[in-house]
A and B are shown apart, each in its own frame.
Chain A
Amino acid sequence: MKYIDEFRDPQKAQAVLQQIKKFSRKLDRSAQNPLKIMEVCGGHTHSIFKYGLETILPDNIELVHGPGCPVCVMPRGRLDDAIALAEMPNVIFTTYGDAMRVPGTKKSLLEAKADGADIRMVYSPLDALQIAKENPQQEVIFFGLGFETTAPSTALTILQAEREKVPNFSVFSNHVLVVPALQALLDNGELQLDGFIGPGHVSMVIGTEPYQFICDRYQKPVVVSGFEPLDILQSVWMLLQQMVSHRVEVENQYQRIVKPQGNPVAIDAMEKVFVPRESFEWRGLGEIPQSGFQLADAYSHFDAEVKFAVPHYQSQDHKACQCGKILQGILKPTDCKVFGTACTPSNPLGACMVSSEGACAAYYKYHRLSAAS
């Protein structure tokens, strides 16, 4: 824990904060027209709220919470498909915990479990493979979720299933890719962002080079950041330094983990097992070309979409729900008409209110304090 504590040192945080304040005064930005920095990754959003970082930044800097929560960006139809798979006879459906509560059209995986489906929470796809080996008479499906952060572990598990010839294991892949999502965001004319805090865990896999196009084509600086409070504060400071000195670069704050070229072993596993889908639907962002992973033909015998009759449900979000614009950073959660009224963490209409990384759930908590004090 000493390693972690270094990145939570209050004195160091104060020193970085003083620098942020100093540089923020050099910007021609006011509280009414703040500098907008998007953190793409849900893990960053979580940390920002966990440590209350928004409450200590100068008021002419606004953190915008992007589409980096894989649970938030999954369209409702895909969740309905997952529930349909889970409710098939003789199936054990395995999933990461935070997908359990997300509402589908009629129910969540948690409710499907209460209705009798054999749904088990796992901490790794390897746990799901182990369940498959222990239950040879049943089909075990793993709900593959997440960006390039989790896709390598799914890929490595499929390679292991192939080596061990486990016939009753398959993956329902909903893995998504960060670069096409960033591209789609940047191509949206409504978007007004000044810079990006790049995703640390994703970059650990893909490296920093894939973000260069953001600087080259859109002239926005990027700082790849770790997840501790000091990491995030330092990344904000690094972005401000770039802006004040009129530089536009990809910088790497998370050098202790992220290498420019990424992790070749992880990339290799992903490239073996997955191929990009022609197009994948993102909640709130719509169809984005080449933005999701499906299993390559050589591994299609582990693909739940090939192995089983997936219904491919289509489901529109609740009409009043503004998750889409919130995920793009165009609206703040508090701008949504149903925020905190019809849509609350106890009764979420949209996924942004469900996940602990969701901007709405985080805002809901923070809003209660600022409204009451």
Chain B
Amino acid sequence: MTDTNKNIAKSPSRKKKFRDTTVTLAHGSGGQAMRDLIDDIFVGSFGNPAMADLEDGVSFPIQSLAQLGDRLTFTTDSFVVDPLFFPGGDIGTLAVNGTVNDLAVSGATPLYLSCSVIVEEGLAVDSLRKVAASIQQAAEAANVQIVTGDTKVVPKGSADKLFLNTAGIGMVREGINVKSDRLQPGDAILVNGPLGDHGTAILIARGELALDTNVASDCQPLHGLVDIIINACPQVKAMRDATRGGVATVLNEFATASGVGIRLQESQVPIREEVKGVCEILGFDPLYLANEGKLVVAVPQEAAETVLAAMQSHPAGQESKIIGEVVEAAAGVVWMQTGFGSERVVDMLVGEQLPRIC
């Protein structure tokens, strides 16, 4: 064997140290640079045997899934938040919790997630590393595994820094049927805490407003809270996490799908003083601001207090409130009774909220 051949024989076992500081198009080329990036940033962070194989697909034994429920739930969501890092979280925590929560409010136990990454050329590798670490931490906190993924790098200007897509599967327990068309007059509407924190945190983090508040995103997994709700009330009617469009959008979707009216009590709707203040300045309505750790749940009236107590016993639901009830009148309409006896419609938002001139 010549010396050269010895060197060739050694090379595959030598792990190349990933030293690049900026993501370039080479990292999306499918070649060695991409392999090094994936090995170091993603496989290294996620530490998951299913992913370490880097096969094109991942398989699960059906029998072990079937022990957890009688239906499989599958969901996907994409995350394009700006800025990538904000008080209370980052795009990575959003991507995991968003999909975990979509599964949870469908009544499913979240199990496995995919995570696809679209990186704009020029992103700092440290930012990507930080996001990957957040993804792993959030997955551990939500008790799910990231089992597959994909990485693309696009030329500068073709995307805004970093986009993530997560898809997830979970299993729904037998007998649980959570759907937005099941509301009936008399049902109670609950939320698990103050509304609009995430939307406010993002507005402030963008730095366009020169406002200084300490509002942090409420980004958190909700599967534990959902478990408690379902255990307290297996007859739970509908559940939805109130992300983009806020609680107002969720309630309008419930009212339309079920053909009922929903009457809210303004005095019972929890909103932080800081969030109210920002909304006053901008002319926004906190009911439409995004949340990343809040759910709306409809339960039969007789179970309302039991569910409320159960929710308040969980860390993600300590500030839960019963905010309204389902009524027969005004089918498809959500409205709010104000503190001094007047009523106002809480309609579906047209487009995004825009600040008013005066």
Contact = CB atoms under 8 A, between A and B. Distances in A.
Interface string A264-303: 0000000000000000000000000000000000000000
A55 B342 CA distance: 6
A123 B330 contact: no
Q: Which of B208, B340, B354 has the most CB of A within 10 A?
A: B340
Q: Which of B341, B347, B350 has the most CB of A within 10 A?
A: B350
Given A42-B358, A97-B356, A373 B261 contact: yes
A101 B358 contact: no
Which secondary structure characterizes the binding site on chain B? loop
Contacts of A345: 347, 350
Interface stretch (B3-11, B223-231, B273-281): B273-281
A51 B344 contact: yes
A365 B341 contact: no
A56 B333 contact: no
B329 A4 contact: no
A50 B344 contact: yes
B358 A97 contact: no
A52 B264 CA distance: 14
Range of interface residues on A (Cβ < 8 Å)? 35 or more
Contact of A372 (B273, B283, B333, B356): B333
Contact of A96 (B330, B339, B355): B355
A366 B276 contact: no
A372 B344 contact: no
Contact of A71 (B209, B276, B357): B357
Range of interface residues on B (Cβ < 8 Å)? 20 to 34
Interface string A172-199: 0000000000000000000000000000
B350 A372 contact: no
Interface stretch (A8-16, A28-36, A240-248, A328-336): A8-16
Nearest to A126: B210
Contacts, number: 111
A56 B340 contact: yes
Contact of A369 (B338, B341, B343): B343
Contacts of A17: 340
Given A146-B357, A346-B350, A56 B342 contact: yes
Contact of A121 (B276, B335, B354): B354
A127 B345 contact: no
A68 to B, nearest CB: 9
A49 interface: yes
Interface in A57-110: 70-71, 96-101, 110
B331 interface: yes
B351 interface: yes
Nearest to A4: B280
Contacts of B186: none
Given A1-B276, A123-B209, A101 B344 contact: no
Contacts of B356: 43, 46, 96-98, 356-357
For the complex of A and B, 10 pairs with smallest distance between CB atoms: A52-B342, A97-B354, A13-B340, A10-B339, A372-B330, A52-B344, A365-B345, A97-B355, A10-B340, A345-B350
Interface of A: 1, 4, 8, 10, 13-14, 17, 41-43, 46, 49-56, 70-71, 96-101, 110, 121-123, 127, 145-147, 149-150, 201, 229, 345-346, 356-357, 365-366, 368-369, 372-373
27 contacts: A10-B339, A10-B340, A10-B341, A17-B340, A42-B357, A42-B358, A43-B358, A50-B285, A50-B344, A52-B338, A56-B341, A96-B357, A97-B355, A98-B355, A123-B355, A145-B357, A149-B357, A149-B358, A201-B358, A345-B347, A345-B350, A346-B350, A357-B356, A366-B345, A368-B347, A372-B332, A372-B333
Given A70-B358, A345-B347, A373-B333, 16 more contacts: A1-B273, A10-B338, A10-B340, A13-B340, A51-B340, A56-B340, A71-B357, A97-B356, A99-B357, A123-B355, A145-B357, A345-B350, A356-B283, A356-B356, A365-B347, A366-B344
